[in-house]
Structure 1
């Protein structure tokens, strides 16, 4: 496989993971998987959350793709693209951890962005946490963040329609 093809697969896999993560966050974590995700939306002083268990699924996806691409595991049936898909998933996991756990929730470093895309990511995810419970909400992605003003309007519409209950400090 050419280096260009490998890099293209890594990039496509990375961005595909944002769609997979968005869908899993909206329909699983805020749906039937709320039991694991709930503590992420509640204040606590623990280092780990049940929500952290979801990272195991991303890791399993990456490891599985690496295994499919490995001649040591698959022998002659190895699919080289699997290695590069696994690399894209791994890169997404690292970026997710740095942005979501690091930048937004400041679990292992403290930095408050004053502008640019980093500030937009923090604002969008804070608006995601503006609701009480699993219903309603905005900004289910982790790397791609919509305009915070549009998200505030969407939250206000959800509140007016009775879909979302906002935290008192987050009235839009």
Structure 2
């Protein structure tokens, strides 16, 4: 029993020492720059953003076209067509209106950097004012990563009803 008591006392002393923190003083907030960008492993091709099965966040959905860059109008067309068969089998969802790809001939996308920050402006053949935050996020995130390689652009959406100010992709929405 003495060996057990000594072992328990030693463990207690070690625990107290660890809890005391060895005298390390707390530090303030350390600035570390902007948040990391999500990169889909194994996908050098285009990425669409759909809604997770839980319905609470955006998830990347890589198109099987490694190394091939789809024009932004084509990305919007794919996005509005909804998730493909593998996306549907994964229960991915969308909060965008479904449209046939041919109906998207009116989609026009342009890039500019008036204040040094790359901005994508997308004219869409749909109303954007009533879209949910997740629906807007699907468009913004898909187009934000479609511009310049390795650049996260702001995206301004212009719909048939209104123009929305430029926004950044926020995958936490």
Task: Quickly name the TM-score band, shorter chain normalised.
Answer: under 0.3
Q: TM-score, normalised by structure 2?
A: 0.28
Larger CA Rg, structure 1 vs 2: 2
Relative to total residues, which structure has the larger strand share, 1 or 2?
Answer: 2
Bigger RCO of structures 1 and 2 (CA < 8 A, at least 6 apart): 1
